[in-house]
Amino acid sequence: MTIAERQTQPDPPERPEGPDARAWAWAVLATPIGPLLLAATDEGLAQVVFHAEEKTAAEAVARLTRRLGTEPTAVPPTAPGTSTAPSGTPRRAGHLAEAIRQLESYFAGDSKVFTLSLDWSLSTGFNRRVLRELAAHVPYGTVVGYQNLADRVGEPGAARAVGMAMGSNPLPVVVPCHRVVESGGGIGGFGGGLETKRILLALEGVLPQPLF
């Protein structure tokens, strides 16, 4: 198999219900970039979905049900004014509550680092390697070029494949694919839309805040 073939391998196939199925739960969080659907397993946050209005959220839940191999479970409600899951609830509820808390802090400008447990099962191979490098070594308020990121994972000929990996990112915002830009200074593409990317980069001080 060539490097190019390895770099463009699809993400894991849908999982049948069975011993490999993962219990999971989801919630929708209102944010300055629109509603985000958050899905968590007992291992950690597994997916973030942009523009999660009713139709998009329903489609995402159906897709995740197939991918994770089981129906989502109900999450006990949090206490008013908090984002903390009640004691004794499944770990997925705690991961979901913590993701909500940290994302709210991020969008409020109070937090610059995510310290969430992540479930990487919806990404694999080259894509996962690139995304893990991005999450670990491209901090708040900085950007990296597609070529530079390819160099960092030891695949200097894979700049285009890096772009594909960003498009497959199951954990946007938390794994900051918005910080990956074109080497020539262009903003590059973004699965959540270019306006969303501009808002996130402006929040982090990379771009000026819009006047209105």
Q: Which of 75, 177, 181, 200 is catalytic?
A: 177
Structure tokens at 168: 């497959």
Task: Give the C-alpha separation, 39 to 7, whole Å.
Answer: 26
The two counts, helices (H) then strands (E), for the chain are: 7, 5
Structure tokens at 35: 């509603």
CB half-sphere exposure, 75, CA atoms < 13 A? 26
Question: How far is CA 122 from each of CA 27, 65, 78, 131, 175, rounded to the nearest angstrom?
Answer: 18, 12, 27, 12, 13
**Cα end-to-end span (Å), the chain:** 50
177: annotated active-site residue: yes
Q: DSSP letter at 178? A: G
Give catalytic residues, as residue numbers. Answer: 177
